[in-house]
């Protein structure tokens, strides 16, 4: 694989104008001066691409209504990225955000027309005893309400198509826009009834985006997808101008046992690559997203209690040097393993003053995963990335050899994915 094919990207949330304490990544109140300066720094560090998250609730406050201030702010960021030579991808229709489950208000409870009619006719949805609905962040509030059928409900399908038509169609020709990342984490907020339903849903999203001028579409699976039969499967995502990615969020396989390691990320990449190779009979390069580890605040390192995707869990906080070593090792290993590229989890830490704002109030994932601190000062991780980027640019990295061998029988795998995934992980780590 030629080194030029490896994309080095980073997720970027804009800083907000002073006096506007909104949910993070609000393009409607972005400080455009800070955006221009920080995108220039990202380019100077050696990144070739930046991922800009268009938060669903802000982009589409109503089923047939767009958040024009957010779209204007996003377009200005695309202009700024282009000015410093960065390509951009835009994340759209994501069901997860900063460690929380996230949807616009109209996609939960009985708010769409058909939902209201059904509720009036048959009564409210009955939740089985003992089942607690996970909290869904709907703009600035958490709600425990049923999520609409994002895969089959006609009103919801019409609403998502409207967003793709308007946003992708309106921005697709921008010279900075290289790709669109669609539907990330959707199976976490509403599980599909089957793998076939998930596949149909995904193909409809991708086909519509491509028909509206998207140059490329990225589809991302995560560990939950790889451990469920009724899931979005990697081979269902492969199509012309569609790239496959896997999320490397630092959620340990066995909590409290050890910190998240580069080996964990290599394993996730190897599983997806093996499934694609075995089922399709050819190698498909896989992009790794969300790469990083959060750092400690005020000297606190080690395990802390937090919430991730609505569930209480624990998370390991590294010190700044540990974060740098993690990225140095993981980037080199993924390049050697033939990954299509990597998107780092975050450019900047969030100010402690914003930790009371959702989703930072409940999940540490969005707080301190940046390679610069909340004041904009580079961490050691920024130096590690700069060194890797320079080696990538000059062609002095070892030639990629491909992912570690992974003995995968697709039929057996998808019959009992949780058990097979766990067995593969045990064998992989034992042999490492």
The closest of 258, 269, 247 to 365, measured between CA atoms, is: 247
Tokens of 13: 């949330």
pLDDT at 254 (0 to 100): 60
Strand extents, DSSP E, 161-254? 177-182, 217-221, 242-247
Strand extents, DSSP E, 230-294? 242-247, 286-291
- Bridge-partner residues for 12, per DSSP? 52
**Beta carbons of 61 and 151 less than 8 angstroms apart:** no
Q: Is 309 left (phi over 0), alpha (psi -120 to 50) or beta?
A: left
pLDDT at 3 (0 to 100): 42
Q: Over the chain (432 residues), what is each successive 10-residue block's mean pLDDT?
A: 74 88 87 97 98 97 97 98 98 96 93 52 44 85 94 96 98 98 96 96 97 97 96 93 95 68 96 96 96 86 90 92 97 97 97 92 95 97 98 96 92 96 93 83
Query: Tens of pLDDT along 245-304?
Result: 999 998 766 655 678 899 999 999 999 999 999 999 999 999 999 999 999 977 678 888
pLDDT at 22 (0 to 100): 74
Please state the pTM of the whole predicted model: 0.94
pLDDT at 18 (0 to 100): 81
Query: Tens of pLDDT along 165-202?
Result: 999 999 999 999 999 999 999 999 999 999 999 999 99
What CA–CA distances, in Å, run from 408 to 10, 167, 276, 422?
31, 39, 10, 12
The closest of 206, 225, 228 to 217, measured between CA atoms, is: 206
């Amino acid at each position: 694989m030629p080194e030029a094919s490896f994309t080095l990207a980073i997720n970027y949330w804009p800083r907000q104008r002073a006096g506007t304490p909104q949910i993070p990544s609000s393009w409607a109140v972005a400080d455009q001066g800070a955006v221009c300066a920080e995108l220039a720094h990202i380019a100077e560090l050696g990144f070739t691409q930046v991922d800009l998250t268009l938060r669903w609730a802000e982009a589409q406050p109503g089923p047939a209504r767009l958040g024009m201030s957010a779209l204007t702010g996003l377009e200005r960021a695309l202009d700024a990225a282009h000015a410093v030579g960065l390509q951009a991808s835009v994340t759209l229709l994501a069901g997860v955000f900063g460690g929380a489950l996230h949807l616009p208000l109209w996609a939960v409870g009985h708010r769409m027309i058909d939902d209201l009619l059904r509720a009036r006719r048959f009564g409210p949805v009955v939740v089985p005893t003992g089942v607690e609905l996970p909290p869904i962040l709907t703009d600035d509030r958490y709600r425990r309400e049923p999520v609409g059928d994002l895969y089959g409900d006609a009103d919801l399908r019409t609403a998502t198509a409207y967003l793709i038509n308007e946003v992708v169609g309106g921005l697709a020709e921008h010279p900075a826009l290289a790709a669109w990342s669609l539907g990330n984490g959707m199976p976490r907020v509403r599980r599909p009834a089957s793998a076939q339903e998930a596949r149909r849903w995904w193909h409809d999203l991708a086909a519509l985006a491509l028909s509206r001028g998207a140059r490329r579409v990225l589809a991302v699976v995560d560990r939950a997808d790889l451990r469920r039969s009724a899931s979005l499967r990697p081979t269902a995502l492969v199509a012309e101008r569609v790239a496959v990615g896997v999320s490397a969020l630092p959620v340990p396989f066995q909590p409290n046992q050890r910190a998240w390691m580069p080996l964990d990320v290599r394993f996730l990449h190897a599983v997806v690559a093996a499934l694609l190779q075995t089922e399709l009979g050819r190698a498909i390069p896989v992009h790794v997203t969300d790469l990083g580890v959060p750092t400690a605040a005020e000297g606190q390192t080690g395990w802390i209690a937090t919430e991730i995707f609505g569930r209480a869990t624990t998370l390991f906080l590294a010190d700044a040097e540990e974060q740098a070593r993690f990225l140095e090792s993981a980037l080199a290993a993924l390049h050697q393993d033939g990954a299509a590229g990597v998107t780092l989890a975050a450019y900047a830490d969030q100010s402690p003053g914003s930790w009371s704002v959702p989703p930072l109030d409940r999940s540490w994932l969005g707080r301190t995963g940046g390679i610069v601190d909340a004041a904009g000062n580079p961490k050691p991780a920024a130096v590690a990335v700069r060194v890797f980027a320079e080696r990538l640019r000059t062609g002095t990295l070892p030639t990629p050899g491909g992912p570690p061998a992974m003995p995968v029988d697709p039929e057996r795998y998808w019959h009992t994915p949780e058990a097979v995934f766990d067995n593969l992980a045990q064998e992989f780590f034992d042999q490492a």
